[in-house]
């Protein structure tokens, strides 16, 4: 009984460590891509395996990031009391979880087509390589964008075996959106990263200029969302969602424009969660109607 209780506690700690609730950022875009790829004829089996692939892939990437950054996190006041720096999960336990997630991810990919399973290790490499990039390049946010931008591309590929232009536009939109809000998130670690010799756009360019990078990337995201709509010949509902997403990104940028980092959690967590859900809902409506 004690072993079972311990396993449950460790599992809870693992999901807390990887900020499981943030799965809402990328998951809706996987389903947007899946619905567009299948013209809303996604089966329940496909939907479930897509969910398994998304959750296992993101969990793998986040756990890997926490594991290799544990020493930096232990010296950063913001993260010093997190799960791994406090020793609540060991490297061995986290590594075991990473390997389990990788196996689940590859198995989930195998439920779609041969190309999906062959490319699964490539996707894993991209997801884990990002964690090393802040050690040598300030473009780390752009690489994170690529890692998450591959989600709609991979979903389309898994369901159809091809990647048409709308999938690339949607992937580019997600990549720019993610990179833009990751810059905002990195502002709070600017001094800690600088002290560690780590690289980021805030470390390289400072607070004010970093916001211009974020604005530019979010503008690019809006352009790619628009190109996605044009490529799929979207109807009125899609453009309502597009307008709402654009306004939300404006709100996000306006919230942080005062350089008041106390408002960062609202700009980062709440606004971006609404962006992904709103885009999903209105794109679904556009396909249904």
Whole-angstrom Cα distance, residue 27 to residue 10? Answer: 24
How far lies 137's CA from each of 140, 282, 284, in Å?
6, 37, 38
Sign of the four-CA dihedral 229, 179, 34, 124: positive
pLDDT tens digit string along 101-152? 999 999 999 999 999 999 999 999 999 999 999 999 999 999 999 999 999 9
Positions of the chain with pLDDT under 50: 1
Domain segments of the chain as ranges: 26-42+112-288
pLDDT of res. 257: 81
Whole-angstrom Cα distance, residue 181 to residue 192? Answer: 19
Q: Please report the beta strands in 4-123, taking only residues with DSSP state E, as ranges in sequence order.
A: none
Whole-angstrom Cα distance, residue 238 to residue 245? Answer: 10
CATH 1.10.275.10 assigned to domain 26-42+112-288? The reply is no
Contact criterion met (CB below 8 Å) for 185 and 268: yes
pLDDT of res. 174: 97
pLDDT of res. 3: 62
Whole-angstrom Cα distance, residue 143 to residue 256? Answer: 23
The Cβ of residue 166 has, within 10 Å, a number of other Cβ atoms equal to: 21
Give the residue from 137, 140, 261, 86 showing the smallest Cα distance to 191: 261
pLDDT of res. 59: 94
DSSP per-residue string spanning 194-238 = HHHT---HHHHHHHHHHHHHHHHHHHHHHHHHHHHHHHTT--HHH
pTM of the entire structure? 0.93
Whole-angstrom Cα distance, residue 26 to residue 58? Answer: 9
pLDDT of res. 1: 41
Q: Which residues contact 194 (CB under 8 A, 6 or more apart)?
A: 203
The Cβ of residue 258 has, within 10 Å, a number of other Cβ atoms equal to: 9
The Cβ of residue 164 has, within 10 Å, a number of other Cβ atoms equal to: 13
Give the residue from 137, 155, 123, 153 showing the smallest Cα distance to 58: 123
| Pair of tokens at residue 59 | 């969990």
pLDDT of res. 26: 84
């Amino acid at each position: 009984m004690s072993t079972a209780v311990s396993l449950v506690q460790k599992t809870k700690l693992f999901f807390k460590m990887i900020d499981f609730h943030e799965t809402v950022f990328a998951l809706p875009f996987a389903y947007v891509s899946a619905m567009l790829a299948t013209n809303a004829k996604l089966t329940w089996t496909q939907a479930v395996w897509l969910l398994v692939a998304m959750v296992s892939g993101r969990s793998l990437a986040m756990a890997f990031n926490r594991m290799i950054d544990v020493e930096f996190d232990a010296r950063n006041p913001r993260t010093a009391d997190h799960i791994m720096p406090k020793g609540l999960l060991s490297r061995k336990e986290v590594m075991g979880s990473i390997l389990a997630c990788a196996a689940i991810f590859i198995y989930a990919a195998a439920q779609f087509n041969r190309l999906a399973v062959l490319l699964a290790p490539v996707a894993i490499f991209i997801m884990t390589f990002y964690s090393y990039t802040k050690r040598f390049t300030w473009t780390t946010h752009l690489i994170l964008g690529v890692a998450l931008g591959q989600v709609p591309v991979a979903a389309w590929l898994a369901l159809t075996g091809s990647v048409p232009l709308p999938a690339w536009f949607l992937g580019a939109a997600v990549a720019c959106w993610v990179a833009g809000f990751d810059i905002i998130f990195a502002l709070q670690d600017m001094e800690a990263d600088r002290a560690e010799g780590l690289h980021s756009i805030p470390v390289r360019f400072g607070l004010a200029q970093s916001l211009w990078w974020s604005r530019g990337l979010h503008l690019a995201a809006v352009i790619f969302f628009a190109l996605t709509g044009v490529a799929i010949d979207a109807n009125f509902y899609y453009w309502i969602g597009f307008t709402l997403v654009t306004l939300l990104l404006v709100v996000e940028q306006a919230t942080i424009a005062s350089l008041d980092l106390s408002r960062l959690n609202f700009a980062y967590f709440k606004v971006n969660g609404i962006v992904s859900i709103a885009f999903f809902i209105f794109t679904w409506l556009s396909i249904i109607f």
